Each structure stands twice: as structure tokens, then as C-alpha cells.
Amino acid sequence: MEKGVERLRALIGSVRPERYWAALRTRKGATLAALALAVIVYAAIDFATLPPPLPGYAQVRAAWRPSESWLYDRNGQLIDSARVDFAARRLAWTPLDRISPVTRDTLVAAEDRRFFSHGGVDWLALLGVARDRAQGARARGASTLSMQLAGFLAPDLAAPGSRHFWDKIRQMRAAWALEDRWSKDEILEAYFNLAGFRGEAQGIGAAALGLFGKTPDALAHDDALLLTALLPEPQASAGIVARRACALSHEKDCARFAGEAASMLGPARSLALDPGLAPHLADRLLTKAGLKITTTLDTRIQQLAIMALKRQLQGLGGARARDGAVVVIDNASGDVLAYVGGIGGASTAPAVDGANSYRQAGSTLKPFLYAQAIEKGYLTPASILDDSPVQLDTASGLYVPQNYDRGFKGPVSARSALAGSLNVPAVRTLLLIGVDPFRDRLWDTGYRGMTEDGAYYGFSLALGSAEVTLLEQANAYRSLANAGRWSPLRLTSNDPRVVPRKVTTPQAAWLVADMMADANARAATFGLDSALRLPFWAAVKTGTSKAMRDNWCIGFSDRYTVAVWVGNLEGDPMRAVSGTSGAAPVWRDLMLALNSDHVVKPPPRPPGIEQRAISFANHIEQPRLEYFLAGTAQSLVAAAPESARRPRITNPVSGTVYAIDPDIPPDRQRLAVMVSGEVTAHHLLLDQRDLGAADSQPQILAAPGQHRLRLVDVAGHVVDQVFFTIR
């Protein structure tokens, strides 16, 4: 008001008094002066009460930005939402026909009952206000919905203290301008969307869902009364709101409104009727307010994954394992059908996305190692690997791999070694492949967290010392299901479909899948009736990382790949959780549910694979039908003759420490030296002392300290050496 008065005074002050009085000396001059003064006064009033320019309906609706974003499944069903803008709580713009008729009628009757008949200003209401003031009664407000909407669109029209005469004229003029350009329905719709109802909730969508847990089209008669009662004072107490609702209802018995108002203003409800099925994926994808993203997820499969993981973690208990994650993929398309980053529960890090966090891989990388060895012709599924103690010299010291059960099984086939997840045979296989080529193969298979060279990971890469994500794991195994072809996963309907590229040969991929699906081959480690055994064909591999921090189970059928991780996101070890008691039960439950509606078929055998009945010398394993790359088949698997084996020292093992027992005479404490391979004409040297012919199997007595034992050929070349210590 002060600005308007100042403008009026400035214009009137511009009139020169001496000229005005001089003009009044004549009748004609007086008339002209009066007209001039009237024009000046009118112009001053017009200028002082000029409202700001207001946008059109289309402009207002186009500028609307909800504070939320929404995530939908592949069928258009809402699965999650996230708040992105924290300035106000707004949902999507609500069209007028999506607001229940009773809500529209109740609000119009209470706020502006002649809304559909006036042109923006209710003159009858203004006269009523004037009458009430003249009689000393409490005056009711006369602002129409159009005037209030103008205040929403131009906040300075409704700024605190803007209740003077000049401000009302500005609001009235703004309302007329709206009525000239907007339809009644557009004004009413915009009012419902721009009005503030309670706290930070703006618009009927946020108010209905936040206060009643309903959508605007589901609001009932009492809901409409309570919402309307909030408008004059959005922060009013439940008692005041109940009394206003009672007055609006014109009912005698209004006792129910007290309880309804208290319930409405009680603990906040979900503003989006949010099912909350994929909160971690929502946090990952919903980065801007107003986004509506259609994912590749399937609500039914997502719910199955959540229930299976929740059931397993509840069974384990928070003292054993607190966290878990699940990913389900469609093998053919690469669509992610389920993405469970965690379920909360006993978790101490519920916001961390377990499906996309880097964790140590454990034994889950072994299938790709054996596939590479088979592809290069270094191994067949029937090849014998030595599961016995081994110590490898590395730049940081000795590397001594051990099996999960701390035992050794001696000679085993590659099939049994992979299916039984034996560690030492895997390390021996890595020695054939080389660390760098294996690391490169893993990179090509989508493990993009492996940014270091092979030397960084060393021989422990065979046992999964590198860090991977559950998504990477699932897609890598999917490549085996797809005959060695890899393509990126699809999380949203807009993600491109990429032509798969070959990573592993179809033959090697098929052989490794067959080895992982062999329940008999893994029986020695996991038993015949573990959670890994299904009533249909499925290839599966478990893994456990160092110190029991991560437990994996990943496998595939003809249609689906399921990957499960169980552990503690804070990195502390699990307690009493093994490969088959942690993640495997979740994998099994999901596999059974996913494949219940069709007959699972094993993958077709690709060209270049032949089948052969084989037997093993010394009954290392039972005779069986085995598969080979064409040209590598053999009927009898036996140890190579000594003449074909590399000369080496087999005992003592390098790095071993021996302690002398003081209660036993020293000459009775001798160490047997053992060698293998063709060692004719080779000698053994202990430090600088010649022990004689290597094939004599000498027994040595050495003083305390570190010693070097060398195997030397006839030309004096050292072909093998070990270091050991006597204490």
C-alpha cells in the first residue's frame, strides 16, 4: 500500500499549483483544469493498483515441477519413488477430473460459493464485508478463488501485510485478468495444485496422500471437509480443524471429526503410496525431480527376490549376517528382472546398495579360469590336477593357498576341482594361464573394477582376491549361459540393446556350465543333497571371501541367471555361514519359483564337442562319460610317466620351518628328500654340500638356520631349488 500511495503523491505533486489556480480564473480554464486533475488522479490510481503480469494456464502447468520422481516396472506398475527436491513436497500435477467431485464441491462451497457466476470478484461478498464492519461485527473474508490463485502466481499480491485497500484493488484487478484468459475449470484446477495444505505439502496430490494415504480421486466426504478446514490456517491444531470441519458440514453430531482430524494430522503417511520395492535402484536412477522411469524390473520377480532374501536373513539372524542382495537377469535380453540392494532388517548400513557395491569375489571367478584353460587346450574336464600343498614364491613372500576345509584331496579331475571349488587346483591352473591373461579375460567379461595389472593381484586372483559387484557377477555368468557371448545389462526401457560380443568360445562355455551343473562332481565338497541341487538343470557356483566377509551363490538355468550375495556391508566377518548356508538357499528358492512354469532344458551341445567313456588309473575317480573338445578326448586318464615329468623337488616344500625336538637324539631327526620326474644323472646340493644322486632319496641332518636345497643336472644347471629353515 505504501508504494501505491507514494506513486499517487508523486503524480499529484507534479502538478504546478500556480498554473492550476491561474487556470481556475476562467470557467473554461477551470473545466480543463478539473479534467486534467481527474486524468492525473485516475492515472495515479491505475498505476498504483496495477497488478504484476500473470502467466497463462499452459505456462503454469508446464512450469510445474514435482518434488518426487517415480520408478515403474516393465508393465507400468509403480515400484518405488524418491524425493529429489526438498524445497516443498509436490507430486505430479493433478487434473481436475482426478479430484473427487465431493472435494471440488466442498472447497468451492466453503471458499467461494459464487465462483462459477462471478467474474473474479464477488461483489455481494464485498458488500457483506462492508455491512459487517459498519455494524461492528467480525468481517468474513471476501477473497475469491481467482484472487487467491493470483496470490499464488504473484506472491507479492499476498505478501504479509498486504490487506489494505490498495492491495485489495490490485488483487481484484489480477483476478479480472485471470478470468479474461483462464477458464473456470483451469482456475479451479490450478488452485487445487498450488494451494498449501499442511507443512511442506503443496497441492491436492501431496495433501491427499500425505494426510489420508489416498489419491485425490479417492477422497471421501469427511476427507474433503477436513482438507477444506485446513486452508485458512494450514498449521492449525487438530481441535481447530475439527471445529471448522463441523461448521462446514452443518451437522449437529460432529464428534467423529475430532478423531479424524487427530488421525489426519498424526504420523506422516507415505506421500506416494510408495511400495518401496527397489529403494537402492531408485536412489541410483531418480536423480532429477519429476522423472518417471520405466525399468526392466518385474514386480512379481522383485517381490519374490525380496521375500526369499528376507526369509534367509531372518533365519540367519543379525548376529551371523546382516545384509544381502539379489539380482535376477533374463538371459536372452539382458533385462534385469529383480534388483534388491538390501532389505534393511538388522542391517547397520541399510542405505548402501549391496547389488552395486564392490566386494571380494572369492571362488566365483574360477569358472572363467577353467574356461580359459580349456579354450586354450591346456586342460580338459578329465585332466588331473594335484590338490596337494604348494608354496609359491612372490615378490611379497610365499603364497600358500589352502582349501576351504583346510584339507587336500590329492589327484582330482578338473571337473571335480571346479564343481567342488578346490583352491589349490585353481592356483595350479592359473600358473598354466598366467595372471595377466586371466585378468584381461575377466575385464573382457565385464569385471570393470579390475583396473590394476596382473602383478597387483598375483596368484590369489584364482581364488577371487579382486573386488566385483553383484551386477558384474550376474552378467558374467550370463555370458556362460549365452555360449560365451557378453553384452551390457539393461536396467531401463531406454537402455540400448547391444549386439553381444564373444568372450569365451561356445565349446569352453558349454563345458564349464556342464561342470558346474554336475551334482555328482561337487558331492565330495557339498554333499549329494545341498541347496545347490535342483530338480532340473542349472549351473551354479558358490564363493566365500577371505575371513568370511562375503558369501556368493550365482547360477543360471536356460532362461534366468540369479546372483545372490550375503554378508555384512560394514565389512566385518560373518559367523557360522558357509557357501551353502548363506546365499545358496536364496538362490535355490528363486530358481524354483522362476522355473516353475516351464520345463527347463539343458543348453544344446555346440559343434566341436565329443563324448567319450573314460576311466582313471589307480581309481582316482569313478569311470564316467566325459565331454571333450574335438581332438582332445582320451579313454584312459593316468599319471604321466616319470620320463615325461619335469624334474623337481617335492619334499621339503619351499618355505617350510622344521623344529628340532631336544628330547630326541639329533642323528635320529633326519629330513627325507624326495624328487619327481626324470632325475637320472641329477645331483642334490644342500647349501654347498653334495648329497649325491637325486634318485637316491637321501635323508639329511642340518644345523639350525636357513638352508637352500638345489637340484642340479649333469651340466651343472640348477633346475629346481627350495628354501627351508631348521629351528
**Mean pLDDT of all residues in 228-241:** 91
CA 464/CA 342 separation, integer angstroms:
23
pLDDT category of residue 396 using cuts at 50, 70 and 90: low
Please determine, for residue 33, whether its predicted confidence score (pLDDT) is greater than 80.
Answer: no
Please determine, for residue 470, whether its predicted confidence score (pLDDT) is greater than 80.
Answer: yes
pLDDT tens digit sequence for 129-148: 677 677 666 555 678 899 88
> Domain holding 63: CATH number?
1.10.3810.10
Give residue 269's pLDDT.
60
Give residue 685's pLDDT.
94
**Amino acid letter at 620?**
I
Domain identity same for 14 and 63? no
Domain identity same for 123 and 223? yes
- The helix/strand/coil state of 672 is strand
For residues 682 and 713, the answer to whether their CB atoms sit within 8 Å is yes
Domain identity same for 27 and 143? no
* Residue 276 included in any domain: no
Domain identity same for 63 and 19? no
> Domain holding 516: CATH number?
3.40.710.10
* Residue 510 included in any domain: yes
> Domain holding 655: CATH number?
2.60.40.10
Domain identity same for 64 and 40? no
Domain identity same for 90 and 24? no
Domain identity same for 22 and 106? no
Domain identity same for 164 and 242? yes
- Taking only Cα atoms into account, the Rg of the chain, rounded to an integer number of angstroms, comes to 41
Contacts of residue 448, defined as CB under 8 A and 6 or more positions apart, other chains included, come to 472
Please determine, for residue 444, whether its predicted confidence score (pLDDT) is greater than 90.
Answer: yes
* Residue 578 included in any domain: no
pLDDT tens digit sequence for 349-385: 999 999 999 999 999 999 999 999 999 999 999 999 9
Residue 687 CA: distances (Å) to CA of 22, 321, 392, 713, 724: 132, 51, 21, 16, 11
**Can you give the residue range of the structural domain that contains 537?**
358-489+501-567+593-601
Please determine, for residue 220, whether its predicted confidence score (pLDDT) is greater than 70.
Answer: yes
* Residue 577 included in any domain: no
Please determine, for residue 1, whether its predicted confidence score (pLDDT) is greater than 50.
Answer: no
**Mean pLDDT of all residues in 91-115:** 93
| Strand-by-strand arrangement of the 683-686 sheet | 657-658, 718-726, 705-712, 683-686, 689-693
pLDDT tens digit sequence for 592-650: 999 999 999 999 999 999 999 999 998 889 999 999 999 999 999 987 776 777 888 88
For residues 660 and 669, the answer to whether their CB atoms sit within 8 Å is yes
CA 330/CA 490 separation, integer angstroms:
10
Of 264, 291, 312, the domain-final residue: 264
Please determine, for residue 91, whether its predicted confidence score (pLDDT) is greater than 50.
Answer: yes
Please determine, for residue 294, whether its predicted confidence score (pLDDT) is greater than 70.
Answer: yes
What does the H/E/C string look like for 30-52? HHHHHHHHHHHHHHHHHHHCCCC
Lowest-pLDDT choice from 13-17, 300-304, 414-418: 13-17
Please determine, for residue 677, whether its predicted confidence score (pLDDT) is greater than 50.
Answer: yes
pLDDT category of residue 170 using cuts at 50, 70 and 90: confident
Domain identity same for 8 and 93? no
For residues 411 and 384, the answer to whether their CB atoms sit within 8 Å is yes
* Residue 339 included in any domain: no
Please determine, for residue 318, whether its predicted confidence score (pLDDT) is greater than 70.
Answer: yes
Domain identity same for 442 and 422? yes
For residues 106 and 231, the answer to whether their CB atoms sit within 8 Å is no
For residues 510 and 606, the answer to whether their CB atoms sit within 8 Å is yes
Domain identity same for 232 and 91? yes
By DSSP bridging, strand 78-83 and strand 196-198 are: unpaired
- Alpha carbon of residue 611 to chain centroid: 43
Give residue 209's pLDDT.
87
Cell numbers 588309473: residue: 617
Of 231, 264, 297, the domain-final residue: 264
- The runs of H, that is alpha helices, within 24-153 are 27-48, 57-63, 101-111, 123-134, 145-153
Give residue 321's pLDDT.
94
**Mean pLDDT of all residues in 467-472:** 98
Percent over 90 (pLDDT), the chain? 57
* Residue 171 included in any domain: yes
Number of domains present in the structure of the chain: 4
Give residue 53's pLDDT.
85
DSSP assignment, residue 138? P
C-alpha cell at 431: 600358473
* Residue 147 included in any domain: yes
Domain identity same for 155 and 201? yes
* Residue 271 included in any domain: no
The secondary structure of 363-378 as a DSSP string is GGGHHHHHHHHHHTTS
